[in-house]
């Protein structure tokens, strides 16, 4: 196999036609990887092929796998981003989303670039608000307090649109736990009260949130008026 690789390399040196040169570069890379277990040479010649054709999906996929196998995750990110760009330029929506999910997973699992991963997953959900892989990955990051606010800003509108009220209220709870700003917590309590009142038709839970807002400022007229409104709406003045 080494002699065959050398033959391919000599042919590359005398081949000027791009398509033929790419074909030979791929043969060197494939033979090096599959027959000689030589990842370095395979990466080198796939990279040459990529220089000749930046949109060669066969080469991009092969490089992605080799970089993963050799744990060169920063290079994996570059290759996947090229596939995302190719998919976007060619209106290949499913391919774009698939690669963005892979991109986010590598960023989280191997590079600890979670803020960048959140941005990528936001891009996915901006175009496909029902993408469960993106939603699940964001939910998994909620256990880390520093990401709660950014993730809530992405998921709350989706949960509200889908009437996923319990998940929405859980996000409210996490945001309250991770906020030291009284004005912000007051706004979240009132938001949660509205969901409990209007979507879940649960005045008792609505009052629980309103009471917490009152504790922040017992003379807050807007909060007191909200309590009156909920009581009137459900005819449950005993809860006041």
pLDDT tens, position by position, 36-91:
999 999 999 999 999 999 999 999 999 999 999 999 999 999 999 999 999 999 99
Long-range contacts of residues 140-149, Cβ cutoff 8 Å, at least 24 apart: 141/108, 141/114, 141/117, 142/171, 142/174, 144/114, 145/177, 145/178, 147/114, 147/115, 147/118, 148/174, 148/175, 148/178, 149/175, 149/178, 149/179
**Does residue 125 contact residue 109 with C-beta atoms inside 8 Å?**
no
| pLDDT at 238 (0 to 100) | 53
User: Mean pLDDT for the chain?
Assistant: 94
* pLDDT given for residue 237 in this prediction: 55
Mean pLDDT for 4-26 is 93
Q: Are 72 and 111 in contact (CB under 8 A)?
A: no
Residue 176 confidence (pLDDT): 97
Tokens describing residue 106 = 């590598």
User: Residue 1's pLDDT band (boundaries 50, 70, 90)?
Assistant: confident
Quote the CA–CA distance of 69 and 84 in Å, as a whole number. Answer: 21
Instruction: Give the global pTM.
Output: 0.87
């Amino acid at each position: 196999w080494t002699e065959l690789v050398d033959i391919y390399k000599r042919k590359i040196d005398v081949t000027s036609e791009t398509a033929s040169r790419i074909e030979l570069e791929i043969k060197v890379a494939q033979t090096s990887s599959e027959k000689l277990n030589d990842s370095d040479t395979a990466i080198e010649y796939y990279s040459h092929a990529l220089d000749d054709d930046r949109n060669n999906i066969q080469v991009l996929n092969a490089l992605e796998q080799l970089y993963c196998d050799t744990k060169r995750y920063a290079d994996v990110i570059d290759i996947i981003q090229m596939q995302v760009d190719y998919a976007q330029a060619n209106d290949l929506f499913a391919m774009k989303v698939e690669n963005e999910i892979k991109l986010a997973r590598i960023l989280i699992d191997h590079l600890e670039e979670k803020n960048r991963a959140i941005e990528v997953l936001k891009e996915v959900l901006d175009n496909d608000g029902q993408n469960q892989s993106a939603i699940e990955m964001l939910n998994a990051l909620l256990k880390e307090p520093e990401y709660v606010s950014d993730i809530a800003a992405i998921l709350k509108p989706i949960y509200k649109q889908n009437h996923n009220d319990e998940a929405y209220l859980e996000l409210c709870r996490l945001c309250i736990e991770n906020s030291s700003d009284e004005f912000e917590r007051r706004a979240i309590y009132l938001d949660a009260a509205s969901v409990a009142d209007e979507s879940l038709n649960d005045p008792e839970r609505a009052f629980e949130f309103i009471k917490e807002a009152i504790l922040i400022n017992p003379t807050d007229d807007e909060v007191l008026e909200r309590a009156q409104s909920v009581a009137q709406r459900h005819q449950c003045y005993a809860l006041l």
